[in-house]
Chains A and B, each alone.
Chain A
Amino acid sequence: MDFHSGRELLEICAKEQSPISEIMRRRECTLGERSRDVVDHQMAQVLDIMRSAATQPLKNPVSSMGGLIGGEAKKLWKHAARGKAVCGDVLLRAATYAVAVLEVNASMGLIVAAPTAGSAGVVPGLLLALQDCYKISDDRLADGLFNAGAVGYLAMRNATVSGAVGGCQAEIGVAAAMAASAAVELMGGTPEQCLEAASTVLMNMLGLVCDPVGGLVEYPCQKRNAAGAANALLAAEFCLSGISQLIPFDEMLDTMYAVGRRMPLELRETALGGCAVTPSACERCGGCV
Protein backbone atom coordinates (compact mmCIF):
# COMPACT_ATOMS: atom_id res chain seq x y z
CA MET A 1 0.00 0.00 0.00
CA ASP A 2 1.60 3.23 -1.12
CA PHE A 3 0.59 6.49 -2.75
CA HIS A 4 2.58 9.14 -4.55
CA SER A 5 0.15 12.04 -4.77
CA GLY A 6 -2.84 13.50 -3.03
CA ARG A 7 -5.04 12.21 -5.84
CA GLU A 8 -3.81 8.65 -5.35
CA LEU A 9 -4.28 8.97 -1.60
CA LEU A 10 -7.90 10.03 -2.05
CA GLU A 11 -8.51 7.14 -4.47
CA ILE A 12 -7.24 4.68 -1.88
CA CYS A 13 -9.31 6.32 0.86
CA ALA A 14 -12.42 5.96 -1.31
CA LYS A 15 -11.66 2.37 -2.27
CA GLU A 16 -10.87 1.31 1.30
CA GLN A 17 -13.59 3.47 2.84
CA SER A 18 -10.99 4.71 5.29
CA PRO A 19 -9.74 8.05 6.55
CA ILE A 20 -6.30 9.36 5.58
CA SER A 21 -4.87 8.47 8.99
CA GLU A 22 -5.73 4.81 8.54
CA ILE A 23 -4.18 4.63 5.07
CA MET A 24 -1.00 6.29 6.32
CA ARG A 25 -0.84 3.92 9.29
CA ARG A 26 -1.22 0.87 7.03
CA ARG A 27 1.42 2.26 4.67
CA GLU A 28 3.82 2.58 7.58
CA CYS A 29 3.21 -1.01 8.68
CA THR A 30 3.59 -2.39 5.16
CA LEU A 31 6.61 -0.47 3.93
CA GLY A 32 8.35 -0.41 7.30
CA GLU A 33 7.61 -4.11 7.87
CA ARG A 34 6.48 -3.37 11.41
CA SER A 35 3.37 -4.31 13.34
CA ARG A 36 0.56 -1.92 14.09
CA ASP A 37 1.35 -2.08 17.80
CA VAL A 38 4.97 -1.08 17.29
CA VAL A 39 4.04 1.79 14.99
CA ASP A 40 1.30 3.00 17.34
CA HIS A 41 3.67 2.82 20.27
CA GLN A 42 6.23 4.96 18.47
CA MET A 43 3.55 7.50 17.57
CA ALA A 44 2.48 7.62 21.22
CA GLN A 45 6.07 8.55 22.10
CA VAL A 46 5.99 11.29 19.49
CA LEU A 47 2.84 12.67 21.09
CA ASP A 48 4.42 12.51 24.57
CA ILE A 49 7.43 14.55 23.47
CA MET A 50 5.19 17.03 21.66
CA ARG A 51 2.99 17.52 24.72
CA SER A 52 5.93 17.96 27.02
CA ALA A 53 7.53 20.59 24.77
CA ALA A 54 4.21 22.41 24.31
CA THR A 55 3.43 22.67 28.03
CA GLN A 56 6.71 22.94 29.97
CA PRO A 57 7.40 26.61 29.13
CA LEU A 58 3.94 27.69 30.31
CA LYS A 59 5.23 27.41 33.88
CA ASN A 60 8.98 27.30 33.36
CA PRO A 61 10.04 29.73 30.67
CA VAL A 62 13.53 29.35 29.27
CA SER A 63 15.73 31.74 27.38
CA SER A 64 16.92 30.73 23.92
CA MET A 65 20.54 30.03 22.98
CA GLY A 66 20.65 33.15 20.83
CA GLY A 67 18.78 35.23 23.40
CA LEU A 68 16.12 36.44 20.95
CA ILE A 69 13.17 34.60 22.50
CA GLY A 70 12.01 33.06 25.77
CA GLY A 71 8.97 33.44 28.00
CA GLU A 72 6.40 34.12 25.26
CA ALA A 73 4.33 31.01 26.01
CA LYS A 74 3.94 31.94 29.67
CA LYS A 75 2.87 35.46 28.75
CA LEU A 76 0.19 34.16 26.40
CA TRP A 77 -0.97 31.64 29.01
CA LYS A 78 -1.35 34.31 31.69
CA HIS A 79 -2.99 36.67 29.23
CA ALA A 80 -5.57 33.99 28.40
CA ALA A 81 -6.30 33.50 32.09
CA ARG A 82 -7.21 37.18 32.42
CA GLY A 83 -10.14 36.61 30.05
CA LYS A 84 -9.37 39.52 27.76
CA ALA A 85 -8.07 37.51 24.82
CA VAL A 86 -9.10 38.65 21.35
CA CYS A 87 -8.57 35.19 19.82
CA GLY A 88 -10.96 32.36 20.59
CA ASP A 89 -9.97 29.57 22.92
CA VAL A 90 -8.78 27.13 20.24
CA LEU A 91 -6.60 29.66 18.44
CA LEU A 92 -5.11 31.12 21.59
CA ARG A 93 -4.23 27.70 22.93
CA ALA A 94 -2.79 26.61 19.58
CA ALA A 95 -0.66 29.74 19.42
CA THR A 96 0.49 29.33 23.01
CA TYR A 97 1.53 25.71 22.53
CA ALA A 98 3.18 26.50 19.21
CA VAL A 99 5.38 29.26 20.64
CA ALA A 100 6.14 27.03 23.62
CA VAL A 101 7.54 24.29 21.37
CA LEU A 102 9.76 26.82 19.60
CA GLU A 103 10.93 28.13 22.96
CA VAL A 104 11.94 24.60 23.98
CA ASN A 105 13.59 24.03 20.64
CA ALA A 106 15.59 27.26 20.79
CA SER A 107 16.83 26.45 24.28
CA MET A 108 18.16 23.02 23.32
CA GLY A 109 15.22 21.07 24.70
CA LEU A 110 13.66 17.92 23.26
CA ILE A 111 11.19 18.35 20.39
CA VAL A 112 9.83 16.40 17.44
CA ALA A 113 10.66 17.92 14.06
CA ALA A 114 7.26 18.28 12.35
CA PRO A 115 8.34 18.34 9.58
CA THR A 116 11.36 20.45 10.65
CA ALA A 117 12.65 21.81 13.94
CA GLY A 118 11.87 25.38 12.92
CA SER A 119 8.25 24.46 12.20
CA ALA A 120 7.87 22.01 15.08
CA GLY A 121 5.23 24.04 16.94
CA VAL A 122 2.37 24.10 14.47
CA VAL A 123 1.16 20.49 14.45
CA PRO A 124 1.35 19.87 18.21
CA GLY A 125 -0.01 23.36 18.91
CA LEU A 126 -3.14 22.85 16.91
CA LEU A 127 -3.78 19.22 17.86
CA LEU A 128 -3.31 19.80 21.58
CA ALA A 129 -5.57 22.85 21.43
CA LEU A 130 -8.29 20.75 19.79
CA GLN A 131 -7.81 18.09 22.43
CA ASP A 132 -8.30 20.65 25.21
CA CYS A 133 -11.38 22.24 23.68
CA TYR A 134 -13.14 19.18 22.25
CA LYS A 135 -12.03 16.44 24.68
CA ILE A 136 -10.31 14.37 22.03
CA SER A 137 -8.57 11.18 23.23
CA ASP A 138 -4.86 10.54 22.78
CA ASP A 139 -5.64 7.69 20.38
CA ARG A 140 -7.63 10.03 18.19
CA LEU A 141 -4.87 12.61 18.41
CA ALA A 142 -2.48 9.94 17.13
CA ASP A 143 -4.84 9.51 14.17
CA GLY A 144 -4.43 13.21 13.58
CA LEU A 145 -0.66 12.77 13.58
CA PHE A 146 -0.84 9.99 10.99
CA ASN A 147 -3.06 12.20 8.86
CA ALA A 148 -0.60 15.09 9.19
CA GLY A 149 2.20 12.67 8.36
CA ALA A 150 0.54 11.78 5.06
CA VAL A 151 0.46 15.43 3.99
CA GLY A 152 4.04 15.99 5.14
CA TYR A 153 5.22 12.87 3.36
CA LEU A 154 3.74 14.11 0.07
CA ALA A 155 5.43 17.48 0.57
CA MET A 156 8.77 15.79 1.22
CA ARG A 157 8.34 13.49 -1.74
CA ASN A 158 6.94 15.88 -4.33
CA ALA A 159 8.23 19.26 -3.19
CA THR A 160 10.46 20.27 -0.28
CA VAL A 161 10.19 20.98 3.43
CA SER A 162 13.53 22.77 3.59
CA GLY A 163 13.60 26.52 4.19
CA ALA A 164 16.94 26.66 2.40
CA VAL A 165 15.29 25.27 -0.72
CA GLY A 166 11.75 26.65 -0.63
CA GLY A 167 11.54 29.35 2.05
CA CYS A 168 9.31 29.42 5.10
CA GLN A 169 6.26 28.45 3.02
CA ALA A 170 7.94 25.03 2.66
CA GLU A 171 8.59 24.66 6.40
CA ILE A 172 5.87 26.37 8.38
CA GLY A 173 3.60 26.39 5.33
CA VAL A 174 3.78 22.62 5.06
CA ALA A 175 3.53 22.20 8.84
CA ALA A 176 0.33 24.26 8.78
CA ALA A 177 -1.01 22.26 5.83
CA MET A 178 -0.37 19.09 7.82
CA ALA A 179 -2.11 20.52 10.89
CA ALA A 180 -5.11 21.73 8.88
CA SER A 181 -5.63 18.33 7.30
CA ALA A 182 -5.36 16.61 10.67
CA ALA A 183 -7.81 19.04 12.23
CA VAL A 184 -10.39 18.38 9.52
CA GLU A 185 -10.19 14.62 10.06
CA LEU A 186 -10.45 14.99 13.85
CA MET A 187 -13.50 17.25 13.48
CA GLY A 188 -15.30 14.80 11.22
CA GLY A 189 -14.40 16.02 7.73
CA THR A 190 -13.85 13.80 4.70
CA PRO A 191 -10.45 12.92 3.19
CA GLU A 192 -11.24 15.31 0.33
CA GLN A 193 -11.85 18.11 2.80
CA CYS A 194 -8.59 17.29 4.57
CA LEU A 195 -6.53 17.81 1.44
CA GLU A 196 -8.57 20.86 0.47
CA ALA A 197 -7.67 22.37 3.83
CA ALA A 198 -4.00 21.53 3.25
CA SER A 199 -4.20 23.12 -0.18
CA THR A 200 -5.87 26.23 1.25
CA VAL A 201 -3.04 26.69 3.74
CA LEU A 202 -0.37 26.39 1.05
CA MET A 203 -2.29 28.95 -0.99
CA ASN A 204 -2.62 31.39 1.88
CA MET A 205 1.03 31.08 2.92
CA LEU A 206 2.39 31.02 -0.62
CA GLY A 207 5.60 32.96 -1.01
CA LEU A 208 6.51 33.29 2.66
CA VAL A 209 10.27 33.76 2.90
CA CYS A 210 12.75 32.24 5.34
CA ASP A 211 14.68 35.08 6.96
CA PRO A 212 15.92 34.08 10.43
CA VAL A 213 17.52 36.86 12.46
CA GLY A 214 21.14 35.96 13.11
CA GLY A 215 20.64 32.75 11.14
CA LEU A 216 19.06 31.19 14.23
CA VAL A 217 15.83 29.24 14.61
CA GLU A 218 14.24 31.83 16.88
CA TYR A 219 12.90 34.96 15.27
CA PRO A 220 10.62 35.34 13.32
CA CYS A 221 10.30 31.51 13.39
CA GLN A 222 8.52 31.37 16.74
CA LYS A 223 5.78 33.86 15.88
CA ARG A 224 5.37 32.35 12.45
CA ASN A 225 4.63 28.98 14.02
CA ALA A 226 1.69 30.57 15.79
CA ALA A 227 0.68 32.26 12.52
CA GLY A 228 0.87 28.84 10.84
CA ALA A 229 -1.53 27.44 13.43
CA ALA A 230 -3.92 30.33 12.76
CA ASN A 231 -3.76 29.69 9.03
CA ALA A 232 -4.39 26.01 9.60
CA LEU A 233 -7.45 26.67 11.75
CA LEU A 234 -8.90 29.05 9.21
CA ALA A 235 -8.37 26.61 6.34
CA ALA A 236 -9.93 23.79 8.35
CA GLU A 237 -12.92 26.00 9.13
CA PHE A 238 -13.41 26.82 5.45
CA CYS A 239 -13.40 23.18 4.46
CA LEU A 240 -15.55 21.94 7.33
CA SER A 241 -18.15 24.56 6.41
CA GLY A 242 -18.32 23.15 2.90
CA ILE A 243 -16.56 25.97 1.06
CA SER A 244 -14.77 24.42 -1.91
CA GLN A 245 -11.13 24.89 -2.80
CA LEU A 246 -10.54 25.49 -6.48
CA ILE A 247 -6.92 24.31 -6.62
CA PRO A 248 -6.27 20.67 -5.68
CA PHE A 249 -3.55 19.85 -3.15
CA ASP A 250 -1.15 18.32 -5.69
CA GLU A 251 -1.27 21.41 -7.88
CA MET A 252 -0.83 23.70 -4.90
CA LEU A 253 2.17 21.67 -3.72
CA ASP A 254 3.76 21.95 -7.16
CA THR A 255 3.10 25.68 -7.13
CA MET A 256 4.61 26.12 -3.68
CA TYR A 257 7.72 24.27 -4.84
CA ALA A 258 7.96 26.30 -8.06
CA VAL A 259 7.64 29.58 -6.14
CA GLY A 260 10.24 28.38 -3.63
CA ARG A 261 12.77 27.60 -6.30
CA ARG A 262 12.31 31.06 -7.78
CA MET A 263 12.99 32.77 -4.47
CA PRO A 264 16.31 34.57 -4.36
CA LEU A 265 19.02 33.02 -2.22
CA GLU A 266 18.80 35.93 0.22
CA LEU A 267 15.31 34.81 1.24
CA ARG A 268 16.06 31.14 1.76
CA GLU A 269 17.49 30.69 5.27
CA THR A 270 20.72 32.55 4.55
CA ALA A 271 19.93 35.45 6.91
CA LEU A 272 20.86 37.81 4.07
CA GLY A 273 17.39 39.25 3.48
CA GLY A 274 13.94 39.91 4.89
CA CYS A 275 13.58 40.39 8.65
CA ALA A 276 17.20 39.36 9.15
CA VAL A 277 18.58 42.52 7.56
CA THR A 278 16.26 45.09 9.13
CA PRO A 279 18.25 47.68 11.10
CA SER A 280 16.69 46.66 14.40
CA ALA A 281 17.39 42.98 13.84
CA CYS A 282 20.96 43.73 12.86
CA GLU A 283 21.46 45.86 15.96
CA ARG A 284 20.07 43.14 18.20
CA CYS A 285 22.02 40.40 16.51
CA GLY A 286 25.28 42.30 16.88
CA GLY A 287 27.27 40.85 14.04
CA CYS A 288 26.82 39.18 10.72
CA VAL A 289 26.92 35.38 10.62
Chain B
Amino acid sequence: MSFISVFDVLGPNMIGPSSSHTAGAAVIAFMAHKMIAPPLKKVDFTLYGSFSRTYRGHGTDRALLGGIMGFGADDVRIRNSFQIAAERGLAYSFTPRDSGDDTHPNTVDIRMENAGGQVMTVRGESLGGGKVRISRINGVSVDFTGDYSTVIVVQQDKPGVVAHITKVLSDRNVNIAFMRLFREVKGRTAYTIVESDGRFPEGIEEPLADNPNVQDVMIIEL
Protein backbone atom coordinates (compact mmCIF):
# COMPACT_ATOMS: atom_id res chain seq x y z
CA MET B 1 0.00 0.00 0.00
CA SER B 2 1.35 3.39 -0.95
CA PHE B 3 -0.54 5.54 1.57
CA ILE B 4 -0.49 5.59 5.36
CA SER B 5 -3.59 3.58 6.22
CA VAL B 6 -5.48 3.85 9.50
CA PHE B 7 -4.33 0.25 9.99
CA ASP B 8 -0.71 1.34 9.72
CA VAL B 9 -1.44 3.60 12.68
CA LEU B 10 -3.60 1.09 14.57
CA GLY B 11 -1.49 -1.86 13.56
CA PRO B 12 0.15 -4.11 12.84
CA ASN B 13 -1.73 -6.70 14.85
CA MET B 14 1.27 -8.42 16.31
CA ILE B 15 2.84 -10.62 18.92
CA GLY B 16 4.84 -8.36 21.23
CA PRO B 17 6.97 -6.95 22.53
CA SER B 18 8.56 -4.98 19.70
CA SER B 19 7.43 -4.15 16.18
CA SER B 20 11.02 -4.05 14.94
CA HIS B 21 12.56 -6.85 17.03
CA THR B 22 9.61 -9.24 17.13
CA ALA B 23 7.03 -8.51 14.41
CA GLY B 24 9.63 -7.46 11.83
CA ALA B 25 11.74 -10.53 12.60
CA ALA B 26 8.72 -12.79 12.09
CA VAL B 27 7.91 -11.13 8.78
CA ILE B 28 11.48 -11.49 7.46
CA ALA B 29 11.55 -15.19 8.30
CA PHE B 30 8.04 -15.69 6.92
CA MET B 31 9.18 -14.20 3.62
CA ALA B 32 12.29 -16.38 3.64
CA HIS B 33 10.26 -19.56 4.15
CA LYS B 34 8.32 -18.75 0.99
CA MET B 35 11.59 -18.94 -0.97
CA ILE B 36 12.35 -22.61 -0.42
CA ALA B 37 10.33 -25.76 -1.03
CA PRO B 38 9.07 -27.40 2.17
CA PRO B 39 9.72 -29.27 4.35
CA LEU B 40 12.57 -27.44 6.06
CA LYS B 41 15.10 -29.58 7.88
CA LYS B 42 17.52 -27.04 9.33
CA VAL B 43 17.72 -23.30 9.75
CA ASP B 44 20.53 -21.12 11.07
CA PHE B 45 20.02 -17.51 12.02
CA THR B 46 22.93 -15.09 12.31
CA LEU B 47 21.95 -11.91 14.15
CA TYR B 48 23.59 -8.53 13.73
CA GLY B 49 23.41 -5.15 15.42
CA SER B 50 20.68 -4.60 17.97
CA PHE B 51 19.22 -8.02 17.08
CA SER B 52 22.43 -9.66 18.32
CA ARG B 53 22.34 -7.84 21.66
CA THR B 54 18.67 -7.96 22.68
CA TYR B 55 17.21 -10.90 20.79
CA ARG B 56 16.31 -12.98 23.83
CA GLY B 57 14.43 -10.27 25.73
CA HIS B 58 12.56 -9.24 22.60
CA GLY B 59 11.71 -12.79 21.59
CA THR B 60 13.43 -12.17 18.26
CA ASP B 61 14.57 -15.81 18.26
CA ARG B 62 11.06 -17.17 18.78
CA ALA B 63 9.67 -14.78 16.16
CA LEU B 64 12.29 -15.78 13.58
CA LEU B 65 11.69 -19.46 14.19
CA GLY B 66 7.93 -18.95 14.05
CA GLY B 67 8.16 -17.02 10.81
CA ILE B 68 10.30 -19.70 9.22
CA MET B 69 7.59 -22.24 10.10
CA GLY B 70 5.02 -20.05 8.34
CA PHE B 71 3.55 -18.21 11.33
CA GLY B 72 2.46 -14.63 10.66
CA ALA B 73 3.51 -11.76 12.94
CA ASP B 74 0.13 -12.01 14.73
CA ASP B 75 0.23 -15.77 15.26
CA VAL B 76 0.12 -16.65 18.98
CA ARG B 77 2.06 -19.86 18.27
CA ILE B 78 5.20 -17.69 18.02
CA ARG B 79 5.53 -17.77 21.80
CA ASN B 80 5.92 -21.57 21.66
CA SER B 81 7.95 -21.79 18.50
CA PHE B 82 10.94 -23.59 20.10
CA GLN B 83 8.67 -26.40 21.20
CA ILE B 84 6.81 -26.52 17.88
CA ALA B 85 10.07 -26.64 15.93
CA ALA B 86 11.23 -29.54 18.07
CA GLU B 87 7.96 -31.38 17.43
CA ARG B 88 8.35 -30.80 13.70
CA GLY B 89 11.94 -32.05 13.72
CA LEU B 90 13.29 -28.70 12.56
CA ALA B 91 16.85 -28.09 13.74
CA TYR B 92 17.75 -24.47 14.46
CA SER B 93 20.51 -22.26 15.78
CA PHE B 94 21.02 -18.60 16.62
CA THR B 95 24.42 -16.92 16.38
CA PRO B 96 24.85 -13.31 17.51
CA ARG B 97 27.65 -11.60 15.61
CA ASP B 98 29.30 -8.18 15.55
CA SER B 99 28.24 -6.41 12.42
CA GLY B 100 30.30 -4.38 10.01
CA ASP B 101 29.60 -0.67 9.81
CA ASP B 102 27.51 -0.98 6.66
CA THR B 103 25.02 -3.42 8.17
CA HIS B 104 21.59 -2.11 9.13
CA PRO B 105 21.11 -2.17 12.95
CA ASN B 106 18.50 -4.94 12.89
CA THR B 107 19.75 -7.48 10.40
CA VAL B 108 19.49 -11.26 10.19
CA ASP B 109 21.07 -13.77 7.85
CA ILE B 110 18.96 -16.89 7.43
CA ARG B 111 20.41 -20.12 6.08
CA MET B 112 17.73 -22.68 5.26
CA GLU B 113 18.11 -26.31 4.24
CA ASN B 114 15.16 -28.42 3.16
CA ALA B 115 14.63 -32.17 3.19
CA GLY B 116 15.75 -32.36 -0.43
CA GLY B 117 19.12 -30.89 0.52
CA GLN B 118 18.50 -27.54 -1.16
CA VAL B 119 20.21 -24.64 0.62
CA MET B 120 19.08 -21.04 0.48
CA THR B 121 20.36 -17.94 2.23
CA VAL B 122 18.37 -14.77 2.79
CA ARG B 123 19.35 -11.51 4.49
CA GLY B 124 16.60 -9.34 5.94
CA GLU B 125 16.52 -6.01 7.72
CA SER B 126 13.82 -4.90 10.15
CA LEU B 127 13.12 -1.24 9.49
CA GLY B 128 10.70 -0.46 12.34
CA GLY B 129 6.94 -0.62 12.76
CA GLY B 130 6.95 -4.17 11.43
CA LYS B 131 8.26 -3.02 8.05
CA VAL B 132 11.11 -5.04 6.58
CA ARG B 133 13.43 -5.27 3.61
CA ILE B 134 15.00 -8.32 2.03
CA SER B 135 18.48 -7.21 1.00
CA ARG B 136 20.22 -10.39 -0.12
CA ILE B 137 19.29 -13.75 -1.63
CA ASN B 138 22.00 -16.42 -1.95
CA GLY B 139 24.63 -13.72 -1.66
CA VAL B 140 23.17 -11.53 -4.41
CA SER B 141 22.10 -8.04 -3.33
CA VAL B 142 18.37 -7.50 -3.87
CA ASP B 143 15.84 -5.03 -2.53
CA PHE B 144 12.16 -5.59 -1.82
CA THR B 145 9.82 -5.13 1.11
CA GLY B 146 6.83 -7.44 0.91
CA ASP B 147 4.49 -4.43 1.02
CA TYR B 148 3.35 -5.53 -2.42
CA SER B 149 2.65 -8.97 -3.84
CA THR B 150 6.09 -10.06 -5.00
CA VAL B 151 7.27 -12.61 -7.51
CA ILE B 152 10.93 -13.59 -7.64
CA VAL B 153 12.20 -15.25 -10.79
CA VAL B 154 15.55 -17.00 -10.45
CA GLN B 155 17.09 -17.13 -13.88
CA GLN B 156 20.14 -17.55 -16.01
CA ASP B 157 21.29 -14.04 -16.96
CA LYS B 158 20.51 -14.37 -20.68
CA PRO B 159 18.58 -12.23 -23.19
CA GLY B 160 14.82 -12.67 -23.41
CA VAL B 161 13.97 -13.74 -19.86
CA VAL B 162 12.60 -10.37 -18.82
CA ALA B 163 10.49 -10.19 -22.00
CA HIS B 164 9.14 -13.64 -21.16
CA ILE B 165 8.22 -12.52 -17.63
CA THR B 166 6.46 -9.33 -18.73
CA LYS B 167 4.54 -11.23 -21.42
CA VAL B 168 3.27 -13.83 -18.96
CA LEU B 169 2.22 -11.07 -16.56
CA SER B 170 0.57 -8.85 -19.17
CA ASP B 171 -1.29 -11.83 -20.68
CA ARG B 172 -2.84 -12.33 -17.25
CA ASN B 173 -3.58 -8.66 -16.76
CA VAL B 174 -1.15 -8.20 -13.87
CA ASN B 175 -0.31 -4.57 -13.26
CA ILE B 176 3.37 -4.20 -12.41
CA ALA B 177 4.14 -1.65 -9.68
CA PHE B 178 7.92 -2.20 -9.66
CA MET B 179 10.23 -4.50 -11.58
CA ARG B 180 13.98 -4.84 -11.11
CA LEU B 181 16.71 -7.25 -12.13
CA PHE B 182 19.56 -8.06 -9.76
CA ARG B 183 22.71 -9.95 -10.65
CA GLU B 184 26.26 -10.26 -9.41
CA VAL B 185 28.11 -11.53 -12.47
CA LYS B 186 27.10 -11.26 -16.14
CA GLY B 187 25.73 -14.53 -17.50
CA ARG B 188 25.32 -16.18 -14.08
CA THR B 189 22.28 -16.44 -11.81
CA ALA B 190 20.11 -13.33 -11.75
CA TYR B 191 16.95 -12.42 -9.84
CA THR B 192 14.05 -10.56 -11.38
CA ILE B 193 11.76 -9.15 -8.73
CA VAL B 194 8.32 -7.95 -9.73
CA GLU B 195 6.01 -6.20 -7.30
CA SER B 196 2.32 -5.78 -7.99
CA ASP B 197 -0.52 -3.97 -6.22
CA GLY B 198 -2.96 -6.86 -6.34
CA ARG B 199 -2.50 -10.54 -5.64
CA PHE B 200 -1.12 -12.66 -8.45
CA PRO B 201 -3.51 -15.02 -10.27
CA GLU B 202 -3.55 -18.58 -8.95
CA GLY B 203 -0.92 -20.85 -10.51
CA ILE B 204 1.07 -18.10 -12.22
CA GLU B 205 4.33 -19.84 -11.21
CA GLU B 206 3.91 -22.45 -13.95
CA PRO B 207 3.83 -20.22 -17.04
CA LEU B 208 6.58 -18.05 -15.52
CA ALA B 209 8.78 -21.12 -15.06
CA ASP B 210 8.08 -22.24 -18.63
CA ASN B 211 11.31 -20.86 -20.09
CA PRO B 212 14.64 -22.70 -20.48
CA ASN B 213 16.54 -19.97 -18.63
CA VAL B 214 14.20 -19.77 -15.65
CA GLN B 215 15.40 -21.90 -12.73
CA ASP B 216 12.82 -21.13 -10.09
CA VAL B 217 9.80 -18.94 -9.39
CA MET B 218 8.75 -17.81 -5.92
CA ILE B 219 5.64 -15.90 -4.90
CA ILE B 220 5.67 -13.88 -1.69
CA GLU B 221 2.36 -12.51 -0.50
CA LEU B 222 1.95 -11.42 3.12
Interface residues of A (CB under 8 A from B): 2, 24-25, 27-28, 31-32, 39, 42-43, 45-46, 49, 64-66, 104-118, 120, 123, 145-146, 148-150, 152-153, 156-157, 161-162, 164, 178, 214-218, 289
Residue contact B17 to A114, C-beta cutoff 8 Å: no
A115 with B10: CB separation less than 8 A: yes
Say whether B12 faces chain A, with CB atoms less than 8 Å apart. yes
* B7-A42 in contact (CB<8A): yes
- B1 near A117 with CB under 8 A, answer no
Instruction: Give me 12 A-to-B residue pairs in the complex whose CB atoms sit less than 8 angstroms apart, sorted by A's number.
Output: A25-B6, A43-B6, A46-B7, A46-B11, A64-B17, A109-B16, A112-B10, A112-B13, A116-B129, A117-B16, A150-B6, A215-B54
Is B79 at the interface (CB under 8 A from chain A)?
yes
Contact partner, A149, options B1, B9, B12, B53, Cβ 8 Å:
B9
A217 with B18: CB separation less than 8 A = yes
Most chain A beta-carbon contacts within 10 A, residue among B19, B53, B62: B19
How many contacts between A and B, using CB within 8 angstroms? 132
In the complex, are the beta carbons of B14 and A111 less than 8 A apart?
yes
Is B14 a contact partner of A113 (Cβ separation < 8 A)?
yes
Decide if B19 touches A116 in the complex (CB within 8 Å): yes
Alpha-carbon distance between A105 and B12 when the two chains are bound, in angstroms:
13
Q: In the assembled complex, which residues on chain B have CB atoms less than 8 Å from the CB atom of A216?
A: 17, 54, 57-58
Chain A CB within 8 A of B124 CB: no
Given contacts A24-B6, A117-B18, contact A215 B57 (CB under 8 A): yes
Question: Given the complex of chains A and B, what is the CA–CA distance between A157 and B6 in angstroms?
Answer: 12
**CB closest residue in chain A, given B56:** A65
**Of A65, A114, A148, A156, which contacts B58 at CB under 8 A?**
A65
Does B192 reach chain A (CB closer than 8 Å)? no
Bound CA span A280–B19, Å = 27
How distant is the Cα of A42 from the Cα of B16 in the complex, in angstroms?
A: 20
Residue of A nearest to B62 (CB): A108
A32 to B58 alpha-carbon distance, docked (Å): 32
Q: Tell me which of A25, A27, A113 contacts B12 (CB under 8 A).
A: A113
* Bound CA span A31–B2, Å: 9
Determine the distance from Cα of A65 to Cα of B10 in the docked complex, in whole angstroms: 24
B59 at the interface (CB under 8 A from A): yes
Query: Could you tell me the distance between the alpha carbons of A145 and B11 in the complex, rounded to whole angstroms?
Result: 11
Contact B5 A28 (CB under 8 A): yes
Report whether B23 and A149 are in contact in the complex, using a CB–CB cutoff of 8 Å: no
CB-CB contacts below 8 Å: B51-98 with A: 53-54, 56-59, 62, 74, 76, 78-79
| Closest beta carbon of chain B to A36's beta carbon, Å | 13
From A28, A114, A123, A289, give the contact of B54 (CB < 8 A).
A289
Shortest CB–CB separation between residue A142 and chain B, in angstroms? 10
- Cα A214 to Cα B10 in complex, Å, equals 26
Does B9 contact A153, Cβ atoms closer than 8 Å? yes
A146 to B9 CA separation, bound complex (whole angstroms): 10
Contact at A118–B5, with CB atoms within 8 Å? Answer: no
On chain A, the residues within 8 Å of B1 by CB distance are 32
Alpha-carbon gap, A65 to B79, bound state (A) = 10
Pick the contact of B76: A109, A152, A218 (CB < 8 A): A109
Q: How far is the CA of A39 from the CA of B76 in the complex (A)?
A: 24
In the complex, what residue of chain A is closest to B6 when comparing beta carbons? A149
Taking CB atoms, residues of chain B closer than 8 Å to A66 are 57
Question: A28 vs B1: C-alpha distance in the bound complex, in angstroms?
Answer: 11
With a cutoff of 8 Å between Cβ atoms, the chain A residues found around residue B129 in the complex are 113, 116, 161-162
The CA of A123 and the CA of B10, in the complex, are separated in Å by: 9
In whole angstroms, what is the CA distance A157 to B19 when docked?
18
Give the docked Cα–Cα distance between A28 and B78 (Å). 30
* Chain B residue contacts of A113, Cβ below 8 A: 10-14, 19, 23, 129-130
CA distance A118 to B128 in the complex (A): 12
Closest to A149 in B: B6
Q: Does B184 contact A (CB under 8 A)?
A: no
A residues less than 8 Å from B163 (CB atoms): none
Cβ-defined contact, B13 with A49, below 8 A: yes
